[in-house]
Amino acid sequence: MEFNNFDSATDDKSNLNGDCSPPPTKQAFDMNHTKNIDDISTPSELKFDEDFDFEDPEISEKRKEIERCIQNPDSVNLEKWQQFAKSKGGLISDDYRKVVWPLLVGVTQEEMTEPPSLDDLSTHGEYNQVVLDVNRSLKRFPPGIPYEQRVALQDQLTVLILRVIIKHPDLKYYQGYHDVAITLLLVCGDRASFPLLCRLSCGPRAPLQPFMQTTMAPTQHLLNYMLPVIRRADPDVADCLEKAQVGTMFALPWYLTWFGHSLNRYSDVVRLYDYFLCAPPLFPVYVTAAIVLHRGGEVLRCDCDMAMLHCLLSRLPDDLPFEDILVTAEKLYLENDPEVLEPEVAALERREAEVRRLDEERMKRRQAAARNRRNPPARRWPSLLKALSSRRALLATATVLLGVYVYYRPELLFIRHHEDTLGEL
Amino acid sequence: MSETTSHQIPGLTQKKVFKIIVLGDSGVGKTCLTYRFCEGQFLDKSEATIGVDFRERTILIRNEEIKLQLWDTAGQERFRKSMVQHYYRNVHAVVIVYDVTKPETFHSIVSWMQEVESHGLTNSPRVLVGNKCDCGTPESRLATTYAQRAADKYGMPLFETSALLDSECDNVESIFMTLAHKLYSKQPLRVVSVEGDQSYGVVTLPRHKSRAAPPPRDSCLCS
């Protein structure tokens, strides 16, 4: 969603240039964009304060309970922290997140070590790519942050990422990893975010580990769980997605960054992280499915076309009800265990491979056709033979042949006629 | 509107769609370039593209409305292999972008060309774009003559431009308009998109006025 800020500037343009969403939904998007501009002009911290006056009593109660637990952490078990993180409102404030996030993934105080300097790490092979992405992550920093502070944070971000991939050389940096890293950095600071990011990246059940392999094939495979989940809940929406062959690309940045890259509201991002930090690794894919299902009406109204659907789905509205979506996603997870879905995913992947194969064949035919265009007669014969094979064409051919026959043997018709006239005379 | 719309099949809205894929190394300015063309301004808080982004603009060629679909791809190599593949489907034209201040992004053109060829797009219109010509000093920028030689080798026009400068706006415009005109004159590649029926991707020859576009198979009037 890198250009949302500017979309409102195009609102009053009468043409549809640059806009590919269908007209009815366009208005909804624009309204969101206007809201988005307000959001980014006010620091996210302030937003919490604004909400505070009208806070849900349930949340106020939860706030007090979290505070009590933070004051007395030894008496609280992991389940309790997880319950806070998952239930309505999540961990509510970054002050609590800073303490609870490391606890959720089991990071200890001893692991939080002083980071090395950026100069020590600049020789790494991925250094340039990381710096390139970090320098372009301005949108992820709190608005109005002083320049020096932002630059310092960006350096910390580069160090954080490089530290992880240096410690685990088998893990490959991907574009989007910086979006996860910055969320952790902004909440937990540079000392705690390193072991936290390590936990998320390395290990058999580490959620980011599949993204950091040599190729994106493991990620692609995991994203393929989305469509079977959608199909089980709403076959019409699944049919529409599959017919349009929209694929899973629209959800790729969501999954790779845990929505950090794609959501404009910081509060939504950290709320999702609360949940993801204590959920199964595949859970974000179920959230993806829940979002698509939530927007099912829009999907069905949209033209069943890859470009249109990709465009509609990849842009997330700002007013998504994430508390409801998380509840739906959890229900979907409980009802459709990844293991149960495996055969459906395999079937989907077979169908996709078949489409790819047909595509390749069509491409080859197209190339052959281009070659044959230079040599047209050779190409006409097979098509003529093909045309002859239809029944209607056969009838026409028979008529023509009869005509030819009559032309050469006119006596059959005309001589008799001649004789008749002679007789009359 | 255009004469082709009068040949429309009732109940179906047709608009010609040209699909253009934008390729190039990470950070060369693919997103800013497509944004400049589609939105008419510079995107100053640009982020890394993850996967594939999509932008669209409707243009007029000889009074006919044409939809230009720009598929803006991620530059990082890992996204190319398994993920971006899908988006090469039915691509009509290719834009390869490099950063004039970073010679290594220019040298990658070889591998981008291989990629283009592997998807059977050798005969499709292509252009080479040297972006960020507002950056650096004339000495630090890649020499135009050098870039022109490579462009000639691959038989594609070279554009040097800047997505940042408003003064270069016309140049960005001409990149995509050149491609659109090429595609327009290259009739066999004109694909009609029929909204509501995905499987219908028929090649039409609208200049032959006597021959209207054949109707889709499932609603054929002659059988």
Per CATH, which fold does A217-355 belong to?
A: Cyclin A; domain 1 (1.10.472)
- CATH class of the domain whose range is A111-212: mainly alpha
- For residue B147, the domain's CATH number is 3.40.50.300
Between chain A and chain B, the number of residue pairs with CB atoms below 8 A apart is 127
Residues of B in contact with A314 (CB under 8 A): 53-54
Higher per-residue pLDDT: A396 or A339 = A339
- CB distance from A271 to chain B under 8 Å? no
Query: B147 lies in which domain range?
Result: 15-219
Quick check: A155 and A116 in contact, CB under 8 A?
no
At residue A6, does pLDDT exceed 60?
Answer: no
Which residue in A176, A215, A363 is closest to B81 by CB distance?
A215
Distance from CA of B89 to the nearest CA of A (A): 8
Report which of residues A390 and B178 the model is more confident about: B178
Q: What is the residue type of A343?
A: P
- Which chain A residues are within 8 Å of B108, Cβ to Cβ? none
Instruction: Dihedral sign for Cα A80, A82, A87, A91, please.
Output: positive
Of the candidate ranges A140-149, A279-288, A341-350, the one whose mean pLDDT is the lowest = A140-149
> Which of B58, B83, B195 minimises the CB distance to A220?
B83
- Among A175, A214, A310, the residue with its CB nearest the CB of B76 is A175
Residues A35 and A318 sit within 8 Å (Cβ to Cβ): yes
Question: Per the domain annotation, does B65 fall within a domain?
Answer: yes
**Is residue B7 in a domain?**
no
Sign for the pseudo-dihedral over CA of A299, A300, A301, A304: positive
**Structure token digits, residue A35:** 């809201």
B122 falls within a domain: yes
Residues of B in contact with A138 (CB under 8 A): 45, 47
Give the pLDDT confidence score for residue B111 in this predicted structure. 92
CB within 8 A of A385, min separation 6: which ones?
none
ipTM: 0.78
Amino acid occupying residue B161: T
Q: Which residue of A has its CA nearest to B193?
A: A305
Structural domain count of chain B: 1
Best residue in B79, B116, B172, B205 to probe A by mutation, most A CBs within 10 Å? Answer: B79
Taking CB atoms and an 8 Å cutoff, what residues of chain A touch B38?
A: 17-18
SS3 letters for A230-277? Answer: HHHHCHHHHHHHHHHCCCCHHHHHHHHHCCCCCCCCHHHHHHHHHHHC
Inside any domain, residue B10: no
Evaluate if residue A77 carries a pLDDT over 80.
Answer: yes
The average confidence (pLDDT) of chain A is 83
> Mean pLDDT, to the nearest integer, of A105-123?
90
A315 closest CA partner among A256, A267, A253, A255: A253
Q: Closest Cα to residue A129, out of A175, A87, A95, A92?
A: A175
pLDDT at A388: 54
Distance from CA of B68 to the nearest CA of A (A): 10
Per-domain residue ranges for chain A? 111-212, 217-355, 391-425
Contacts of A252 in chain B (CB under 8 A): 50-51, 83
- Phi/psi for B22 (5° steps) reads -110, 120
pLDDT score, position B3: 36
* A367 and B CB contact within 8 Å: yes
Of B51, B78, B119, the CB nearest to A215: B78
Number of Cβ atoms within 10 Å of the Cβ of B191 = 18
- Which tens digits make up the pLDDT trace of A7-56? 333 333 333 344 444 444 333 333 333 333 333 333 333 343 444 567 88
- Closest residue on chain B to A3 (Cα): B43
Q: In Å, how far is A112's CA from the nearest CA of chain B?
A: 29
CB pair distance less than 8 Å for A175 and B48? yes
Higher pLDDT, residue A272 or B146: A272
What's the pLDDT at A173? 96
Question: Where do the DSSP E strands lie in A115-216?
Answer: none
What pLDDT shows up at residue B13?
55
Evaluate whether residue B75 is within a structural domain. yes
CA nearest to A22 within chain B: B195
Q: Which residue of A has its CA nearest to B122?
A: A367
Residue B30 is inside which H or E element, if any? helix B30-39
Query: What whole-number distance in Å separates Cα of residue A135 and Cα of residue A129?
Result: 10
Q: Domain for residue B141, yes or no?
A: yes
Residue B9 inside a domain? The answer is no
Residue A291, min C-alpha distance to chain B (Å): 19
Bridge partner list, A79: none
Q: What is the mean pLDDT of residues A212-238?
A: 96
| Percentage with pLDDT > 90 across chain A | 63
- In degrees and rounded to multiples of 5, residue A24 shows phi and psi of -60, -40
Where do the H-state alpha helices sit in A202-234? Answer: 217-223, 226-233
Whether B39 and A305 lie within 8 Å, measured CB to CB? no
pLDDT greater than 60 at residue A5: no
Nearest to A304 among B45, B49, B198 (CB): B198
Q: Closest residue of B to A214, CA-based?
A: B78
Q: What is the pLDDT of residues A152-171, one digit of tens each?
A: 999 999 999 999 999 999 99
Residues of chain B below pLDDT 50: 1-8, 10-11, 189-191, 193-223
In A, residues 306-325, which contact B (CB 8 Å cutoff)?
306-307, 310-311, 314
At residue A361 the predicted structure's pLDDT band, cuts being 50, 70 and 90, is confident
